[in-house]
Homo-oligomer: A and B are copies of this chain.
């Protein structure tokens, strides 16, 4: 499994404010000023967070006049769930490579 991209997603999500932004965008696209209203931090801070989310492939932006409309990347939603399932499944991709691997033992 490709950790690199998944870790970047996790890092971007591992901030309460960015997680809330993702939650906001899960119901549709919003412009920066709309998002900002839900937070106490400054506008440059939001700009920073949006860039982190874009770099992680979580969010994409469309410019419309003065406004930047942000939306969740559909591909992110799909890939994140897929990577999560793969990570947490006790299946045959087992990394431990030990002869006494306990992958079949329930905990």
Interface residues of A (CB under 8 A from B): 1, 3-4, 6-7, 10-11, 13-16, 19-20, 22-24, 26-30, 34, 38, 71-72, 74, 77, 80-81, 84-85, 87-91, 94-96, 98, 101-105, 107
Contacts and interface: CB of A to CB of B under 8 A. Distances in A.
A23 to B, nearest CB: 5
> How many copies are assembled?
2
B3 A7 contact: no
B7 A104 contact: no
Given A28-B103, A34-B98, A96-B30, A87 B14 contact: no
21 contacts: A1-B23, A3-B16, A6-B19, A7-B15, A7-B16, A11-B14, A14-B14, A19-B87, A22-B88, A23-B95, A24-B95, A26-B87, A26-B89, A26-B90, A28-B90, A28-B96, A29-B107, A38-B95, A38-B96, A80-B84, A81-B84
